[in-house]
Amino acid sequence: MCDTCGCNITPGNKHLVAEGGKLEVDASGKKVVDVMHSLLHENDHQAEHNRHHFNARGILAINLMSSPGSGKTALLEATIDALKDKYNIAVIEGDLETENDAERIRAKNIPAIQIATGTACHLDAHMVHDALHNLDLQNIDLVFIENVGNLVCPASFDLGHHLNVTLLSSTEGDDKPAKYPVMFKTSDLLLITKADLLPLLDDFDTARAEKYFRNLANQSPIFTLSATKNIALDNWLDWINEKIQAHRKNLAEHPVDKNHMHHSHDHHSHHHHHI
C-alpha cells in the first residue's frame, strides 16, 4: 500500500495532515495512521491503468455525459457518419437495462460494447476496463464512452478517458449548470443539443446557459448543434480533430512506458492479458 504516498496533498488541504506524521501507539492501544488518499483511490488507479491502455495504442477516449435522453446516442450516430472514413471508432455504452444504444451503434458497423450497469447509476473504471478487454482496440483511433444518463453520479468517477463532454439539451432548461455544478465543472466541452427545437422553446436562453456555465469558472468551449437535424456539427467535429491531433502529438513527445502495462500493485491483485 502507498499509505503515505501523499499523492493527494495540495496546498489547500495540507493542514489536514497531522503534525509530526504518524502517531505512535498510545496508552490505550490506539494508533492513528495518516492516509490522504482519495475516497475512490482504487477507482483512480484503475482509471490510470485504462488510460495506459488507450495511450499505448494512441487512442483518444471521450466520456459523454448528460441527463437521460439529451441526445448522446444520436450525437454518436451523427459523429460516426461524419468521421468514420477518417478514424476508426469504437463505442462503450453504459445503458442500464437494454442493448438498444449499442445496437444503434453496431447498425453503423462500428464495434460497440454494452456495459449492463443494472442498477448502477454511473460507470466506474473497473466496468470500463472489463469492456476494454472485450473490445478489439487494434487500429482504433477514437473511443467514445456513453455514460449513464445522470447529471450527478458519473461526475465523480474517472474512467481513464481523456476528455469529458457534457450535453445539455434545449428541452431540459438552461439552468442545469447551476443545479449540477460538479458535473458541469468537469466538462472539457459543453454541447447544447437539439438546437432545432430552440425556436420553439421560448424559455431556453443559450446566453443564460453560458453564463451559468461560466459561473463555474469553466473556460471550456460551448457549441450549439442538432445531431438529428445535422445543424452546426462542424465546430464539434473540428474540436474532435483538433483533440486527436493534440493527443497524438503529446504521445509522440511523451512516449508511453509499455512496461507500465505489466505493473503490479499489491492492492491490484487481478492478472489479465491485453488484446
Ligand X SMILES: Nc1nc2c(ncn2[C@@H]2O[C@H](COP(=O)(O)OP(=O)(O)OP(=O)(O)O)[C@@H](O)[C@H]2O)c(=O)[nH]1
Q: Output the CA torsion 229→235→240→243 (10° steps).
A: -170
Stretch that binds ligand X, among 67-75, 106-114, 151-159, 178-186 (CB under 6 A): 67-75
CA distances from 214 to 14, 146, 184 (A): 28, 24, 10
- Residue 44 — φ and ψ, nearest 5°? -65, -40
For residue 175, how far is the Cα from the chain centroid? Answer: 22
- 196: CB partners within 8 A, 6+ apart: 226, 228, 229, 231
Contact between 161 and ligand X (CB under 6 A)?
Answer: no
Indicate which single residue of 49, 52, 53, 72 sits in contact with ligand X (rule: CB under 6 A).
72
Instruction: Report helix angle 234-253 to 72-83, nearest 10.
Output: 70
Contact between 29 and other proteins (CB under 8 A)?
Answer: yes
Position 59, amino acid? I
Q: How far is the CB of 101 from Mg ion (least distance, A)?
A: 4
Contact between 66 and ligand X (CB under 6 A)?
Answer: yes
Indicate which single residue of 19, 118, 217, 270 sits in contact with other proteins (rule: CB under 8 A).
217
Q: How far is the CB of 74 from ligand X (least distance, A)?
A: 3
Nearest to 230 by CA among 65, 64, 68, 81: 81
Q: Which three cell numbers stand for residue 41?
A: 483511490
Q: How far is the CB of 200 from ligand X (least distance, A)?
A: 9
Contact between 101 and Mg ion (CB under 5 A)?
Answer: yes
Give the whole-angstrom CA distance, residue 234 versus residue 71: 17
Binding partner of residue 232 among Mg ion, other proteins, ligand X, none, CB cut-off 5 to 8 Å per kind: none
Contact between 141 and ligand X (CB under 6 A)?
Answer: no
Q: How far is the CB of 96 from ligand X (least distance, A)?
A: 8
Nearest to 239 by CA among 168, 191, 167: 191
Site string for ligand X, 84-103 (x = CB under 6 A): -----------------x--
Contact between 73 and Mg ion (CB under 5 A)?
Answer: yes
Q: How far is the CB of 103 from other proteins (least distance, A)?
A: 27
Residues of this chain that interact with Mg ion (CB under 5 A) are 72-73, 101
Residues forming contacts to other proteins in the complex (CB under 8 A) are 1, 3, 8, 10-13, 16-18, 25, 28-43, 120-122, 124, 152-153, 155-157, 177-179, 181-183, 185, 212, 214-217, 219, 267
